[in-house]
Structure 1
Amino acid sequence: MNPMPPHAAPEFDDAFRTRLHDLFGWRRDIRHFRTDALPDGTIERLIGIACLAPSVGLSQPWRFVIVDDPARRQAVLDNFTTCNAEALGACSDERASRYASLKLAGLREAPCHLAVFCERATEVGHGLGRRTMPEMADYSVVAAISTLWLAARAEGIGVGWVSILDPAVVALSLGVPRDWRLIGYLCIGYPRAEDDRPELERVGWERRQPPGDHIVRR
């Protein structure tokens, strides 16, 4: 089988790189959404872009569930409410009042809910690269989510990643196969306001650390 001939590589100039840096800087985790519906086909198109992400062994283990049913959405919201109350109860007295003031999800307002799962058992890719690190399938799905997030941001669409959930309950509520692993539950829609600073930094929960703090040389 002959390999496919390569396409001519595009050239990315300094102006493009500057705009790309701006895109990274303005990609925020959105919790405050307008309720306006997205144009028809938007989510499907963004998922198509997400599928351009790298995946271990070309396994493409991502599984996208567009959650439209009101009862299923309510089940996810109830799940969040329960888990959020438990997280609040685990906070120290010093942090509890601040935690309670945070808006940590846009589940009520966001016009689109998207659950993203990993199917680790997929036979696509023939297991290449997963024998010693099966979690690479999960990381591949994370890469797809990040790709979707940046593509959405480039169109003025916001994304919020909701992690205060019991993943087993989410999977049960959505009726997906038992071997699918929840990687991310996303709220997607137009943000109420724009800012290039993380919301948790703006409200004083945490500050962004300089990149040098995360580098180790050996």
Structure 2
Amino acid sequence: MTASDDSFTESERHGLYRAIYERRDVRSQFLPDPIPADVLARLLQAAHHAPSVGFMQPWDFIVIESREVRASILTLFEQANEKAAERFTGERKNLYKGLKLQGILESPLNLCITCDRSRSGPHVLGRDSIMETDLFSTCLAVQNLWLAARAEGVGVGWVSVLDQTQLSAALNLPEHVYPVAYLCLGYVSEFLDQPELEAKGWRSRLPLSELVHGDTWGGALINELLEAALNGQSGGKSV
């Protein structure tokens, strides 16, 4: 196959896959160094260039530097985390309580990426059948920012143990704006070799070969070369 003029070079492809495989949900490795304004601008531009249903671009970005605001969010986290811990028992509960699930004050910057569910009006091209595609689009903006951050050497941690109604009130969000992702950003001392939850024994990565179906759910793959390639991958790092 002949590459088109806009194809990536081998080194560019390697960089993209490296960012994907080495991206981590950072909680414990943040450094106090501030993120330069030009770097943060590049990350926000990357997020803003995510695809979106009907090109509605439903995201907004709340850059949170105030320690007072962040302290109020930490209080919300602690309340939600106590409730979450009660859902587990025994060894699992002890393991959960030992996990660090946020870096709200340790990171130099927090960022909330929201979804304006009213943007572009009541009828958005491509959204009539699946109303949640605005939320899905916002998640793509989160992923864009996360991969760009890894390429810049910036760690990102998603704080998901939060009551969304309380978070909305704390950030003065309008009723039609939903807080999709509350993120901690900052340079880090290291990017771990494994996701932290995997390293701590909470979950292991599932084999991709068990998650790919042919034609319908549970169907066997007809493409034997694809099946062999999936079975031959180790940790998804064949770049």
TM-score under structure 1 length normalisation: 0.91
1:147 aligned counterpart, secondary structure: helix
The 8 Å contact of residues 59 and 126 in structure 1, kept in 2 or not, is answered as no
- Partners of 1:38 and 1:180 in 2: how far apart? 27
- Partners of 1:60 and 1:89 in 2: how far apart? 38
Partner of 2:182: 185
Judged with a 3 Å threshold, the aligned counterparts in structure 2 of structure 1 residues 13 and 124 are, in CA distance, closer, same or farther, namely: farther
Structure 1 residue runs of 4 or more that deviate by more than 3 Å after TM superposition:
none
Match of 1:94 among 78, 91, 100: 91
Name the amino acid aligned to 2:9. Answer: D
- Partners of 1:82 and 1:29 in 2: how far apart? 21
Partner of 1:16: 12
- Partners of 1:125 and 1:148 in 2: how far apart? 28
Name the amino acid aligned to 1:149. Answer: W
The 8 Å contact of residues 34 and 110 in structure 1, kept in 2 or not, is answered as yes
Match runs of 1:18-37 below 5 Å: 18-32=14-28, 33-37=30-34
Q: How far apart are residue 41 of structure 1 and its match?
A: 3.6
Aligned residues: 211
Which one is further off, 58-67 or 124-133?
124-133
- Partners of 1:41 and 1:18 in 2: how far apart? 25
The 8 Å contact of residues 89 and 96 in structure 1, kept in 2 or not, is answered as yes
The 8 Å contact of residues 25 and 196 in structure 1, kept in 2 or not, is answered as no
Partner of 1:62: 59
The 8 Å contact of residues 39 and 152 in structure 2, kept in 1 or not, is answered as no
Partner of 2:159: 162
- Partners of 1:65 and 1:40 in 2: how far apart? 15
The 8 Å contact of residues 66 and 112 in structure 1, kept in 2 or not, is answered as yes
Match of 1:208 among 186, 205, 209: 205
- Partners of 1:131 and 1:34 in 2: how far apart? 44
C-alpha RMSD of matched pairs (Å): 1.7
Per-residue CA deviation, residues 121-169 of structure 1 (Å, 9 max, x unaligned), is: 1116951111111100000000000000000100100100110000111
Structure 2: state its 5+ residue gaps: 217-239
Structure 1: state its 5+ residue gaps: 1-7
TM-score under structure 2 length normalisation: 0.84
Larger radius of gyration: 2
